[in-house]
Amino acid sequence: MSTLKEFEEKLHGADEAERTYAAEDIGYLNVPDGVPPLLERLAQEPSLAVRAAIFQALIRIEADAAIEGSIELLGSEDPQIRNQAVDVLRRKGPQSIPFLKTVMREGDKDMRKLVLDVLSGMQAGNAGEIYAKALSDPDVNVVITAVENLGRMRAAEFRTRIEELMGTDSHPMLTGACLEALVEIGDESSLGAIRRRFPDLTSLPDFLLASYLKAMAALGSATEFGEVASLLPVRGPHLRPPILSALMAIYPHCPLLEPGETLLPALRAVVEDGDPPLCRYQAVRVLSFWAARDDVYAFLLSCLSSRERLVRLGAAESLSMTKRPGLAQVLAARALEESDEEVLQALAC
């Protein structure tokens, strides 16, 4: 049976495949003593394929030594090594948390940021201490990363602290991150906090408005619907997707809303000449909320003949949800002229 020593020798062999296999074998051996030779080789290994095998071996080795070794690699000058070390530690899951806590206490701002990169995407219940510290970190990038992670993890226990961070006159990137996090973990009080922080939408810069709209999509109701709708004709085309997404998300919470005088023409204008096509699709889908109105219904029917397939798709989806008498025959007749497979499926629904 091959021993660690044999694999170590092969790890320094001339043949790239042999070195890859040696790294793999050390990983399967799964002993703490396998870690130092892997790290030693990594420092001098020119082949990306062998490097990748070394990192996979570190993932397979269950001992703490693999975590400690990977934490050392976070300090590497080579960004590829740092990224792969982050990946190894992330895969180690909760086992790596005690080690990450130490780095959070003692590491520099780059290391602290990397700790949060490791935690990103990990449902680590015992990382609360790390996050509490990160939210008060002197480096804004560390705070931003912590807020982003907490939002994605839906860590509602940090909601109040994130509202506070948004409420202060903070770095604009941090404000945006707080808004995005509140999309996931916000409640009615968060909506109030957001509205107090941004009382005047007209002066809100575009990059913050996109995040604000996401928050409105998640938390808003009738009042916010009207405000968001009023933005469609006046803000730039690049903001159409988040505006339309917000309208689509808010409406189901207050389904008796009237569109007002400006919204329907604005939506029609987007359907007719909006770009990119996905925007046109979104606009058709928003129009479907008022498909019971004759003018909207007629417009949706006309959309079935659009040259843009996404407009036809949106119209087919929208119309198939209405209960108009005779509609089934109209859709069936349209299906005879349609060649796109997805639109045909939507027409048949």
Partner 1 sequence: MPDLSVEQFQTLSQQIYQKLGLHFDEKKIYFLKTRVAKRMTALGLDDPREYMFKLSYADPHGEEMQALANLVTTNETYMFREYDQLQAFANYCLPEVLSAKQARGERTLRIWSAGCSSGEEPYTLAMIVQDVFPQAQSWDCEIVATDIDENMLKRVAAARYGARSVADVPDEYRAKYLLEDGDEWIVRRRTTALVKARHLNLSDRMAMRAMRGFDFIFCRNVLIYFDDLSRKAVVDHFYNALNPASYVFLGHSESVGRVNTAFKLKRFENHLVYVKE
Which residues make up the interface to partner 1 (CB under 8 A)?
16-17, 20-21, 24, 28, 47-49, 52-53, 56, 59, 80, 91, 121, 123, 152-154, 184, 214, 217-218, 241-242, 244-245, 248-249, 252, 276-279, 281-282, 285, 309-310, 313, 317, 342-343, 345-346, 349
Query: Nearer Cβ to partner 1, position 145 or 282?
Result: 282
Q: Which amino acid is at 244?
A: L
- The minimum distance between CB 106 and partner 1, in angstroms, equals 28
- The minimum distance between CB 153 and partner 1, in angstroms, equals 6
Angstrom distances, CA of residue 103 to CA of 39, 93, 107, 114, 203: 19, 16, 5, 9, 41
Q: Which residues contact 161 (CB under 8 A, 6 or more apart)?
A: 135
DSSP classification of residue 290: G
Whether the bond between 94 and the residue before it is cis, its omega within 30 degrees of 0, is no
Query: Nearer Cβ to partner 1, position 12 or 309?
Result: 309
- The minimum distance between CB 217 and partner 1, in angstroms, equals 8
Asked whether 218 and 246 are in contact (CB, 8 A), the reply is no
Query: Nearer Cβ to partner 1, position 12 or 152?
Result: 152
- Distance separating alpha carbons of residues 252 and 229, to the nearest angstrom: 15
Query: Nearer Cβ to partner 1, position 121 or 205?
Result: 121
- The minimum distance between CB 345 and partner 1, in angstroms, equals 7
Angstrom distances, CA of residue 152 to CA of 64, 118, 149, 291: 28, 14, 5, 35
Query: Nearer Cβ to partner 1, position 57 or 164?
Result: 57
- The minimum distance between CB 287 and partner 1, in angstroms, equals 13
Query: Nearer Cβ to partner 1, position 111 or 335?
Result: 335
CA 223 to chain centre: 27
DSSP classification of residue 233: T
Classify burial at 186, counting beta carbons within 10 Å of its beta carbon; exposed 0-12, middle 13-18, buried 19 or more.
buried
- The minimum distance between CB 60 and partner 1, in angstroms, equals 8
